[in-house]
């Protein structure tokens, strides 16, 4: 009877996980059918940091993304010949947790005519107000991330006077504390980036999938670097080992 009891429990658990996995896979298929959908990045935690794998919408691997953490900075390096973005360096002038930043900005290098040039700059326009009393998100105000072309020159999807990418509590959850950084970012009514769990990760600590817009991908890359930082901080706070 004991063996039968635990056998039934095991089957029920397997069925629940199997159905959940199927529904999760269906969400990927639904994403791929959407008009805005483009390439995506799968973020995975490693023993000494994390790495991202860049895929086309049909799942073809086309590059790798490396993340490096420093005392007051972090950086993103994109190793893919199909991407304009080459590297992004973020500065945290307060050297505190992401949700307490007094200043966070970035500078990006892009590929142009076979050479690397400074192309994008920007950062958070104002601080997210940290508040865990919220039922859905752990902040109270809209998060605004400005992206401008260096020297005021137009680059790809970036307007000459800068482009504002935003998210808010009904779209997005976490900024590096108790809630994971899941949800979407937009420019006006256009979806630019969407963050969900990765089916390859296995556990909540292990990875995310970041879907990029096919028409505005350049705008998504600087936001992706911010998401990585918030994901890492959330993971450390929730007991995920990063060493």
pTM across the whole model: 0.81
- Contacts of residue 157, Cβ cutoff 8 Å, sequence gap at least 6: 163, 215, 216, 217, 218, 219
Q: Is 199 among the domain residues?
A: yes
Return the pLDDT at 220: 93
CA 196 to chain centre: 9
Q: Is 72 among the domain residues?
A: yes
Return the pLDDT at 234: 86
d(CA 10, CA 193): 38
Beta strands in the chain (DSSP E): 37-46, 49-55, 61-69, 73-79, 85-92, 104-112, 115-124, 143-149, 163-167, 183-187, 190-197, 207-213
Q: Is 185 among the domain residues?
A: yes
Q: Is 211 among the domain residues?
A: yes
63 with 82: CB under 8 angstroms?
Answer: yes
Cα separations in angstroms, 218 against 14, 127, 211, 228, 235: 41, 23, 12, 16, 27
* Number of domains composing the chain: 1
Return the pLDDT at 114: 67
Q: Is 160 among the domain residues?
A: yes
Tell me which residue range forms the domain holding 200. Answer: 34-237
139-175: pLDDT as tens digits: 888 899 999 888 656 666 687 778 999 999 889 998 8
Bridge partners of residue 130, in order along the sequence: 139
Q: At 98, which CATH number?
A: 3.20.90
30-61: pLDDT as tens digits: 555 677 889 999 988 765 567 899 999 888 99
The pLDDT mean for the chain works out to 78
Q: Is 115 among the domain residues?
A: yes
Return the pLDDT at 164: 92
Please state, for a pLDDT cut of 70, what percent of the chain lies above it: 72
Higher-confidence position of 6 and 166: 166
Q: Is 112 among the domain residues?
A: yes
Q: Is 5 among the domain residues?
A: no
């Amino acid at each position: 009877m004991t063996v039968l009891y635990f056998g039934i429990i095991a089957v029920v658990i397997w069925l629940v996980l199997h159905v959940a996995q199927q529904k999760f896979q269906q969400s990927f298929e639904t994403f791929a059918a959407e008009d805005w959908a483009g390439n995506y990045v799968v973020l995975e935690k490693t023993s000494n940091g994390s790495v991202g794998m860049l895929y086309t919408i049909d799942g073809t691997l086309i590059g790798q993304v490396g993340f490096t953490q420093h005392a007051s900075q972090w950086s993103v390096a994109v190793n893919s010949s199909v991407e304009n973005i080459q590297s992004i360096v973020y500065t945290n002038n307060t050297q505190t947790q992401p949700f307490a930043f007094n200043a966070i900005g970035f500078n990006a290098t892009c590929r142009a005519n076979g050479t690397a040039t400074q192309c994008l700059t920007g950062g958070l326009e104002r601080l997210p107000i940290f508040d865990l009393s919220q039922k859905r998100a752990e902040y109270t105000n809209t998060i605004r991330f400005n992206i401008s072309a260096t020297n005021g020159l137009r680059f790809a999807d970036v307007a000459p006077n800068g482009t504002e990418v935003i998210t808010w509590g009904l779209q997005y959850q976490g900024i590096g504390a108790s809630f994971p950084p899941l949800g979407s970012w937009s420019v006006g009514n256009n979806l630019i980036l969407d963050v969900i769990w990765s089916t390859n990760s296995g556990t909540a600590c292990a990875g995310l999938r970041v879907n990029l817009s096919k028409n505005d991908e350049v705008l998504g890359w600087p936001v992706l670097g911010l998401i990585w930082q918030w994901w890492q901080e959330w993971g450390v706070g929730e007991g995920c080992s990063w060493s």
